Chain A
Amino acid sequence: MDKHPHDDNNPEANKSSEGIPAPEGAADLIDTDYVIGQDNITASPMGINLDLHGKVFTISSIVILFFVVIALALQDQIEPIFNVGFSFLTVNMAWFFLLAANIFVILSIVLIFTPLGKVRIGGAEAKPDFSYLGWFSMLFAAGMGIGLMYFGVSEPMDHFQSALGGIATENGARTDWSPLGAAEGNEQAAIALGMAATIFHWGLHPWAIYAVVALALALFSFNKGLPLTMRSIFYPVLGERVWGWPGHVIDILAVFATLFGLATSLGLGAQQATSGLNDLFGIPDTNTTMVLLIMGITVVAMGSIFLGVDKGVQQLSKLNMGLAFLLLLFVIIVGPTLMIATGFFQNLMSYLVNLPGLSNPFGREDANFSQGWTAFYWAWWISWSPFVGMFIARVSRGRTVREFLIAVLLVPSLVSVLWMTSFGTAGIQQFLAGTFEGDADALFIMLGGLPLTEITSFIAIVLVMVFFITSSDSGSLVIDSITAGGKVDAPKPQRLFWAIIEGAIAIALLLGGGLAALQTAVITTGLPFTLVLLVACYAIVKGLMSEPRAV
């Protein structure tokens, strides 16, 4: 695992393609005998070419099929098992999730200010593949998308109400779900605390989690010449063994987390879109509608996959950025403008003031909040990180580490503050005025309390659907690349295959009712991935130290 320029010291490594000599240059590639795609199987059934990693593809397909069947057939038996596992994780391992997430945030912020931030992803000469707008839109759509739509109104409202309710205890243990010390009866303080808690869950920490995975992958792929799959992060630790079973297991776990994370998120999106369509057009809020919606959206997603990253995901992400911006602007202007404007800075301050308390891993008084909300969220973001991280990595070539971290960490966090402030404040104001009822389709209720409901609700539904499409699209790209042994130029039909599988799993779980059990299972993968991320931190520092600095 020693690194030195990939020169002619090792003639064996240069025989990757017959008769064509490898370059002699100053690229600081990791010296490995592994040739990308060497373990792949190629076939062309019915004229369709395939190029897949034999073990990763086969085993992950079988495991996925097995889990879907089990989740559907034995959901009554399996759900308690997952629930026990999950509450064990969030109760006993909450400190670990909180501590690890803090490490990611600190590392990311420190890297911005050190000379290591000057390293350019893809080498000093690399040029970015995408414009700032296209790049940022893709990061954002992949990272949060549907979640912001789903939780934008409901989460600030939840924390606000529980904070307003104050502390409740039973047998010396707190039974309320309020963050920190609550703010009983004090509306202003409850708003500040509720917003701080929401922003905490959607701010620096989730984006630091993504940034760590994405930066590690980008570095080891573009700068070190390893394939774009999760296992490459482990090279500094495992060395050549990453090409064997330890690597297969890591990749299979990544496929698993990505696929089920996507399927559950697609289920969430379908539910929200259906409830929106019901509010707006009176379309029945039934399983049939959801299934048709998932099928329709999957077909559109396949069209987008077919067009590729530049003409598919990138364009849709830009469209969504535009629509989301319009919706945000509308809520700010038509909603309580002044409160949102002042709230932005107040909430930002409140976030920063409460950050040490909220992120403290040890000796927490507010166990319900820190375990039930924060640890849950961290496990959720972490289980999403292979997918989002890999996608971000793929589109980030040519950026410096500093540029990358500012764009992946600071800018999205600020956007989250603005988004949550606008939607949360608008919702809370309606609640205080006594005009807000309901919780599940909170977004549409809040929009219903503003003028032009038909138009804004329609835009919101389109937004949910397009975020759905971009998730399905980028997810298929990621899973395809992992199951093709890190090849991003494997035949296109494989990507379409994964999009269909994602839709099919989402439908099966929605109808069979296994969605909740699997959601729990996915979050359970958060624990092993937290270890993966800690390794990634080590790998990033080690990898960056050996890079030439860009100008």
Chain B
Amino acid sequence: MFSKIMVPIDLAHIEVIEPSLAAVADLARHYDAEVCYVGVTSSTPSSVARTPEEFQKKLEAFAQQRAQVHGQPVSAQTVHSADPVANLDDLLIQAIKDVGADLVVMPTHPPKHLDVIMSSHGGKIATHTDVSVFLVRPKPD
């Protein structure tokens, strides 16, 4: 049903995406799909990498590490921007087209009042793309 799963990755906050990574592994095996890990970074040095090239290398290493876990083919794609925070949603929506994904799996937070002014990235992306989006919410405590 799905052949290419896109997974937005925040290398600076890897703990946030841990739960959704498990879901990605299961889905990838179930549908025998390729997994494309997409990272958005600033073109200026960041806490993760000092250049976009370094970021891409780290992302590739991360993808390979995940491939060991789920055994499906992987790829890694870095998107860099002068203002990644403000452009994140648009960059990811564009990346969905660029990598040709048919499913996006990403973590999100439970709905909250602040969403009215600053909507969640997952919600925004789901409303602006044609492909299926699977939002993984954290388990309630």
Contacts and interface: CB of A to CB of B under 8 A. Distances in A.
A21 B85 contact: no
Contacts of A129: 43, 81-82
Contacts of A227: 44-45
A154 B81 CA distance: 41
A306 interface: yes
A35 interface: yes
A397 B62 CA distance: 27
Nearest to B81: A129
A326 to B, nearest CB: 28
B46 A221 contact: no
B51 A228 contact: no
B70 interface: no
A27 B51 contact: yes
A311 interface: yes
A20 interface: yes
B130 interface: no
Nearest to B58: A20
B25 to A, nearest CB: 17
Q: Is the interface of A mostly helix, strand, loop or mixed?
A: loop
A307 B83 CA distance: 10
Interface magnitude class on chain B: 20 to 34
Given A21-B61, A22-B57, A47-B112, A16 B86 contact: no
Contacts of B43: 122, 126, 129, 222, 397
Contacts of A311: 86-87
A55 interface: no
Given A225-B45, A226-B45, A310-B82, A17 B58 contact: yes
B112 to A, nearest CB: 6
A493 B114 CA distance: 11
Interface in B41-97: 41-51, 53-54, 56-58, 61-62, 65, 81-87
Given A20-B61, A222-B44, A394 B84 contact: no
Nearest to B60: A23
Interface stretch (A180-188, A424-432, A483-491): A483-491
* Most-contacted residue by chain A among B47, B53, B65, B84 (CB, 10 A): B47
A438 interface: no
Contacts of B56: 23
Contact of A488 (B14, B50, B83): B83
Interface string A21-33: 1110101010000
Nearest to A48: B114
B131 interface: no
A174 interface: no
Given A27-B53, A126-B43, A492-B85, 18 more contacts: A16-B49, A17-B12, A19-B65, A20-B61, A21-B58, A22-B58, A25-B54, A36-B46, A36-B47, A38-B47, A122-B43, A123-B53, A222-B45, A225-B45, A310-B82, A310-B87, A489-B84, A490-B85
Q: Which 8 A-B pairs have the closest CB atoms?
A: A308-B86, A225-B50, A23-B57, A309-B83, A37-B47, A129-B82, A308-B83, A20-B58
29 contacts: A16-B47, A17-B11, A20-B61, A21-B61, A23-B53, A23-B57, A23-B58, A27-B51, A29-B50, A36-B45, A36-B50, A47-B112, A48-B114, A123-B53, A221-B45, A222-B43, A225-B54, A226-B45, A226-B50, A307-B86, A309-B83, A309-B86, A310-B83, A310-B86, A394-B44, A488-B44, A488-B84, A488-B85, A489-B41
